[in-house]
Amino acid sequence: MSTSDKHDSFRGDVYDLIELQQLLKGPHHIIFEGKSPYQDVLLIETKNIRLYRNDQLVWNSLDERIYHEALVHPAFVFSEQHKRVLMIGDECGQALREVLKYSDVCHVSLVSLSPETLIAAQKTPELCELNEDSFFDKRVQIDQSSIYDFLQTNQHQFDVIIAKLPDPDTKQDSKLYTKEFFKKLSNLLTVCGILVVTSTSPEDNPLAFWSIDKTLQSSSLYTLNYHVNVPWFGDCGFHLAAKKRLVWGKEKKINIQNRTLPEDLYSWFTFSNRVRSVRNQAMVNSIRSLNLHTLFSANSKDVPDQDETKELRHLLSNPHRILYEGGTKGDCVKVLETSDVRLYLDKQLQFSSLDEQIYHEALVHPALSMVQKRERILIAGGGDGFAIREVLKYPDVKHIDLVDLDPLMIHMASNIPKVANLNQRALHDKRVSVHQKDIQVFQKEQKEPYDVIIVDLPDPGDEILSRLYTVEFFKKLSNLLTKDGILVCQSHSPEYAPFVYWSIGLSLKGTGMHVRSYHTEVPSFGDWGFHLASKKPLHLRNRKVAVPYQTLPNDLSTLFVFPSKFRSVQENSHMNTLSNLKLHEIYNQELRR
């Protein structure tokens, strides 16, 4: 834990702060709030509403404002006037909510791409509350025709066109991103009008992203591209297009009321060298050469549909409320409400009750399924009790030492009913010994070895925490392992902080232990990584989890497979030692990036 007294500071991803500020502006209940010598602790409960179409998450109330404010407001800054607006595909009215903030908007035409979603939004009071009753504004006209019929019959032009399109993962949806379709939209733009088109992620699918850009340019439009990190979805791309050149200058400001936009959007319009490097390979998508769905499928993240389906099953197996369910194959809509309990430490998200089980099952069970004996377990950090909950599923576990420096964490996990219920009162189990102590002090006092050591410490955001990820510290922990024991260490994200992730792995290898790396998708945090370390080589074949679980794959070996882009920085990782302590610097550099 950090011993910093700067409680107004913040040591996490900037989007943690944006999320927290947004939650505090909406309906919420603060369950617990406190300040220890080590950190600020905030436990907050909100209602989380999610819309699924064909079992795929479309948006969730936690961060939809980040997405929709990013979709709407840059286009409106560029547009010289906003009298007439066309919206395509905004069936839930959240982008419409942002459009209607502009007093000079006189007319909005809305054309649905999912009729069932539009029905759900109009019939569900919770969705009307989210979109601030935007459908009932007298300036809004909902067109009942298909988008193709609308483009064929409409005689009016628009100052702003917002095309919120589905991912081009099928041949049919790919037609919405063709040269011909964009040309029809261009014909509806005024001379000074602005078109904004949702896109694929430039980080995850740069070739498809630049191909959409090139297709827009082939429709005689100038383009300007940007991207935004939306916590639950990751990096999201957008394209601005117009009949005149577009340049985002630092003088451009968004002066409309919003909850999530940074004061300076300039960084949104910059891209990494890796993303820019494939731009020349982009292809034009046309009716005669319909290729975008192929590019999208070939370059998307590994099996994202399976991740979202797994998450939906997990939510449905826990307390929830179905607000709406209906539709037919291809347009089946489900609106789900769940309670979301979130813990923030120094304004950095520590867990969400919606998916903490995904993280903690991945943290605990690979290690415990590989050891021959699991009588004695040490958990460093993990004062919330969730890792203990998973360990206690094993009947042969006889003793667990939990070591956490912060007394507030231990108090909260033991005595606050919401948290104690989530961890199943794990800290009260007679097999658990709780030590409110620095792990470095604790390990010096121990003589008896452990079968498994679980390192669930905070990210190395400062020099003090960086010392807990050094070769020297890991070596001392390895001395507490039995000869057949396994150490597992949470290691941040191999996707968003790959240098941090692989540097922790390299530091573990610096102890002389054998290391195996793995990762899983945790929606609140994105792709999250772990390392296993042991004194003997680790074998992954035929490893099964012998206790109840909800979110792990049946074959654990799939967790140990990484996309090539995740491994591409591994050779440049840094071994973190007391004499060359740099992990906290790398951590902060990657967060800024």
pLDDT at position 299 is 65
Do 279 and 387 belong together in one domain? no
Distance CA 193, CA 213 (A): 18
User: Is the distance from CB of 76 to CB of 354 less than 8 angstroms?
Assistant: no
What does the pLDDT look like over 102-142, one tens digit per residue? 999 999 999 999 999 999 999 999 999 999 999 999 999 99
Check: CB of residue 105 under 8 Å from CB of residue 137.
no
Residues 395 and 288 in one domain: no
- 182, 219 in Cβ contact below 8 A? yes
Torsion of CA 434, 436, 442, 445, to 10 degrees: -80
Active site residue 396: no
End-to-end CA gap in the chain? 24
Let me know whether 259 and 388 are in one domain. Answer: no
Calculate Rg over the CA atoms of the chain: 25
Residue 326 lies in a domain: no
Pairing relationship of beta strands 40-53 and 331-345 according to DSSP bridges: antiparallel
Q: Which of 213, 456, 462, 527 is catalytic?
A: 456
Q: Do residues 472 and 566 share a domain?
A: yes
Q: Of 271, 301, 331, which one is at a domain's C-terminal end? A: 301
Range of the domain at 73: 61-301
| Helices 14-25, 64-78: inter-axial angle, 10-degree rounding | 100
- Domain assignment present for residue 205? The answer is yes
Other Cβ atoms less than 10 A from the Cβ of 465: the count is: 20
pLDDT value at residue 217: 98
Whether residue 36 lies inside any domain: the answer is: no
Mean pLDDT of the chain: 92
CATH code for the domain in which residue 493 is found: 3.40.50.150
| 109 and 191 both lie in a single domain | yes
Beta carbons within 10 angstroms of residue 370's beta carbon: 20
Q: Confirm if 338 and 318 have CB atoms less than 8 A apart.
A: yes
In the prediction, which pLDDT does 1 show? 32
375 and 297, same domain (yes or no): no
Q: How far apart are CA 19 and CA 540, in angstroms?
A: 38
Dig out the tokens for 243 from the structure.
């009949």
Q: What is the pTM of this model?
A: 0.86
Task: Identify the bridge partners of residue 453 per DSSP, sorted by sequence position.
Answer: 378, 487
3-class SS at 161? strand
Does 146 map to a domain?
Answer: yes
Give the pLDDT confidence score for residue 250 in this predicted structure. 78
Give the pLDDT confidence score for residue 530 in this predicted structure.
98
- The predicted pLDDT at position 7 comes to 37
Could you tell me which residues are annotated as the binding site for S-methyl-5'-thioadenosine?
39, 404
**Residue spans of the chain under pLDDT 70:** 1-13, 299-308, 593
pLDDT, tens digit, 9 for 90 and up, residues 390-432: 999 999 999 999 999 999 999 999 999 999 999 999 999 999 9
pLDDT at 126: 95
- CA nearest neighbour of 350 among 274, 298, 278, 406: 406
Domain assignment present for 24? no
| 273 and 170 in a common domain | yes
Residue that finishes a domain, picked among 279, 301, 323 = 301
Predicted confidence at residue 306, as pLDDT, reads 63
Distance CA 558, CA 387 (A): 22
DSSP 437: S
Are 221 and 284 found together in one domain?
yes
Residues 359 and 255 grouped into a single domain: no
Bridge partners of residue 326, in order along the sequence: 333
Last residue of one domain, picked from the residues 301, 319, 339: 301
Please indicate, yes or no, whether residues 256 and 386 belong to a single structural domain of this protein.
no
Note whether 400 and 361 are within 8 A (CB): no
Count of the separate structural domains present in the chain: 2
Q: What SS3 class is residue 84?
A: strand
Which residue type does 202 have? P
Q: Are residues 437 and 578 in the same domain?
A: yes
Does 111 fall in a domain? yes
Binding-site annotation: residue ranges: 39, 68, 360, 384, 404
What pLDDT score does 19 carry? 82
Is 245 found in the same domain as 132? yes
Asked if residue 399 belongs to a domain, the reply is: yes
For residue 47, is it within any domain?
no
